[in-house]
Amino acid sequence: MTADSTVPPQRTLVDEMRRLAAGLAIEDRVRLLTGATAWTLHELPSIGLRSLAVSDGPIGVRGTGDSLPSAQMPAPSAMAATWDEDVLGALGVLMASEARRKQVDVVLAPVVNLQRTPVGGRHFECFSEDPVLTGRMAVAFVRAVQGAGVGACVKHYLGNESETDRTSYIARIDRRTLREVYLAPFERVVLDAGVWTVMAAYNGLDDGTESAPATEHHGLLTSILKQEWGFEGLVMSDWQATKSTDESALAGLDLVMPGPGGPWGEALLAAVRSGRVPESAVDDKVARVLAVAQRAGALSGRPGQVEPYRVPGGLPGPDAPAVRGLLRSVAARSTVVLRNENAMLPVAADAVRTIALIGDNALDPFVQGGGSAHVVPPHQPDLPAALREAFPTAEVTAHPGGATRRHIPLALYDVVPGGFKVRALDAAGAVLEERHHDAPWDGWVRAVPTGTAEVTVGADLRLAEPGRHVVELCVVGAHRAYVGQDLVSASDHRAGSEVVLDGSAGHPAGTSHPVDVASPATVPVTATLQVVDAAGFGRFARLEVRYRPPSKAPADDELTAAVQAARAADLAVVVVGTNPEVESEGWDRRDLALPGAQDELVRRVAAANPRTVVVVNAGAPVLLPWLDEVPAVLWWWLPGQEGTGALADVLVGAVEPGGRLPWTLPASAEDVPVPDAVPVDGVVHYTEGTDVGHRAWDRLGHSPAREFGFGLGYEAWEYGEVRAGAWSDSAGVIVTVEIANVADRPSREVVQVYLEPPAADPRRPVRWLGGFTGAEVAPGERASVQVAVPPRAFQVWDEDGPGWRTPAGRYRLRAGRSSRDLRVTTVVDVPPT
């Protein structure tokens, strides 16, 4: 799949749309500025406008309520680990194809907030801790999506680097830091990719000149975005982020989502009629909506006629070979080699007879994070099957090694063979609808009929063996839930949209109940549930039924069995990591430790088998105290639907794991420069200034476990001559680096160039990433790699002067394999301007 990445001119189209908007009744114009539903905008047949549809999209197109599976991509942090804009382009084209297949016009992606702290709940949804890497990955992605005729929505604008109190805190960021760090990726996506839409964040921003919610921040939305950058796209709010009428309308917000309802509508109409909000402001907002509609093919331009939405024929689905092949390749290429002593990896497919696959994450891989990034893939991961395919002559055994989650598993078919009966009842108790769900069931009851007052759920648990069974009921909102005749969980608190915003709807708290039986028995589970009215997020009921049998081995016994299996195997593959209870939208992590006894599991398995490979299945940094004690370690990310096959490819060397860390891996929690982002008196203080991520590690002189940009791959590289071209005010400088692949197989190197300023400056980083280039080199061959370092890499924001300026002097340009493995140095003299 290919796409034209040319960014079409915007101003002419928006001016044309302003003329069209001016001819509409004021009631129609205002109506267009609030969503019609959670995921759609209003239609206006009189001008040929059909309804636009938007959808969540960081790792796949969820859709607008359909049940169709989606192509599930690796998490954005994995995408960025490729350091490859061509890969992001290919994923962007796939995203656009999926959007067309699901009749979606605008995908709510990418996220270009920075990974300021490793405990950020949506860390895995962001590309990097670095503004340069983030900006380049985002630009490539947006160009590809929009080149295929689907809009992108870059988010969350701005200062949304934390989930704790995310709907209310104020991010306090000085203007220099704002410009040089946090605005930088947004600026690149607006200016270099011509993004169609921008999403205003939940939180507020205080930049020293204005303190306001992001949806009401005139400096952000109008002064910088629309006036300085010339953005003529559409600014929409995050879902339910808009709390005001006049303030948000005057600040530059264009569209309130979701709908119906919200603070605009009739209130905005009244504000216009009273003169508090100029009618011209409404015209500008409507023009921006219509311009996006025109670009997406949703505006026919013929009064009284609406072009039907046609999905182009031949679009591949998520299970198509081309799609699976692309996602498998990306997941493999993003994998980072953290350690590979004595070239233990790759392992020849015929070199082992027995493999012990160990770990809770090996049996149930964590392939996507929680929250709005979640999609339903076409198939479930099966790592044992992938290894058996990759090692056809080996016996592969699988061992959990101990539980890592707070909750026990969902009840499976063997426990609930009859499935779950769900009924929607009106206020009089009459049945409006009845549904049946096979086990395992995720517990969501969505799209309840109009008039539903409550939902009932019933199931019969088949307890097939004597002993103590454990049933766990996880419920949202007001409810009564029984196991047999026992009232296990009850609440009169009626939940609202806050359970979506804080993540508790996705991961409800649970109540465990033991059931002792002397012989096989059947025990009913029944519950009456509140229908949660979550406004624009929809109406739903929620009950998870989880189950653990008496025969489930204690964690200590599982760990011992895993160690015994490792001792008897030719190769031990231990998969450790996080899970949906740890990494999700809605909350920040409490710490960086692996959940459960996974550190002990690694150490005991490695002691039992010297041929141990540890695979880390996590999107964000975790502490690995044994990292330099085991032979081989791979970082596998949240790899998406084809991750298991990709890992098998990496282990046998079918694909080189050429990933480079897009963030810094800490060695200890005490060394982390920004250990959390918890608001103090409602404010998150960005006191580190421009020293974000690896820049802060360099400033403090701390030694991470693995630095930003690190990745061994499977090959070896030598760096030779380096030279810098002449300085240009318009183009910056080109750095040429000679490299050689001194190994015996083709490989890809990422040459990274870092800048050091002419003189020490406490407000400038010690060094920072200026540019990078990837190069494919054959074994034994040399390559001359050119790395462009643009003028902006040298510039600083002068808060008291004209804005951007370039300090003169001699800059050191250091090139290498990572932020700490800098092998060659040159200089460039920047003259006074």
- Active-site residues, by number, are 238
Task: Specify which residues 617 forms β-bridges with.
Answer: 577
Q: Give the whole-angstrom CA distance, residue 648 versus residue 70.
A: 23
Q: Which of 244, 179, 252, 187 is nearest to 219 (CA)?
A: 252
Q: Give the whole-angstrom CA distance, residue 11 versus residue 397.
A: 61
* Strands, sheet with 454-463, edge to edge from the N-terminal-most edge strand: 431-437, 420-425, 454-463, 521-530, 479-483, 486-491
Residue type, 180: E
Kindly tell me the burial class for residue 832, based on how many C-beta atoms sit within 10 Å of its own C-beta (0-12, 13-18, 19 or more). Answer: exposed
Q: Distance from first CA to last CA of the chain, Å, rounded? A: 45
Q: What crossing angle do the helices spanning 11-22 and 279-296 adopt, rounded to 10°?
A: 120
Q: Which of 183, 182, 202 is nearest to 191 (CA)?
A: 183
> How many residues does this entry show for the chain?
833
Q: Which of 298, 315, 349, 329 is nearest to 150 (CA)?
A: 298
* Strands, sheet with 612-617, edge to edge from the N-terminal-most edge strand: 336-340, 632-635, 612-617, 571-577, 354-358, 395-399
Q: Give the whole-angstrom CA distance, residue 208 versus residue 559.
A: 54
Kindly tell me the burial class for residue 560, based on how many C-beta atoms sit within 10 Å of its own C-beta (0-12, 13-18, 19 or more). Answer: middle
112-135: b (≥16 Cβ within 10 Å) or e:
bbbbbbbbbbbbbbbbbbbbbbbb
CA 141 vs CA 20, 70, 91, 307, 372: distances in Å: 31, 18, 7, 28, 19
Alpha helix (H) residue ranges in 392-536: 498-501
Q: Omega of the bond prior to 758 within 30 degrees of 0, cis? A: no
Alpha helix (H) residue ranges in 336-450: 360-363, 383-390
Long-range contacts of the stretch 480-488 (C-beta < 8 A, 24+) = 480/527, 480/528, 481/511, 481/525, 481/526, 481/527, 481/528, 481/543, 482/524, 482/525, 482/526, 482/527, 483/513, 483/515, 483/523, 483/524, 483/525, 484/515, 484/523, 484/524, 486/513, 488/513
* Strands, sheet with 717-724, edge to edge from the N-terminal-most edge strand: 717-724, 733-741, 782-789
Alpha carbon 188 to its chain centroid, in Å, reads 19
Kindly report the number of other CB atoms within 10 A of residue 398's CB atom: 19
Question: Alpha-carbon Rg of the chain, whole angstroms?
Answer: 27
Q: Give the whole-angstrom CA distance, residue 51 versus residue 41.
A: 5
Q: Which of 125, 132, 143, 131 is nearest to 57 (CA)?
A: 125
**Are 537 and 239 contacting, i.e. CB atoms less than 8 angstroms apart?**
yes
Alpha carbon 213 to its chain centroid, in Å, reads 23
DSSP SS3 for 263: coil
Q: Give the whole-angstrom CA distance, residue 437 versus residue 419.
A: 6
Kindly tell me the burial class for residue 542, based on how many C-beta atoms sit within 10 Å of its own C-beta (0-12, 13-18, 19 or more). Answer: buried
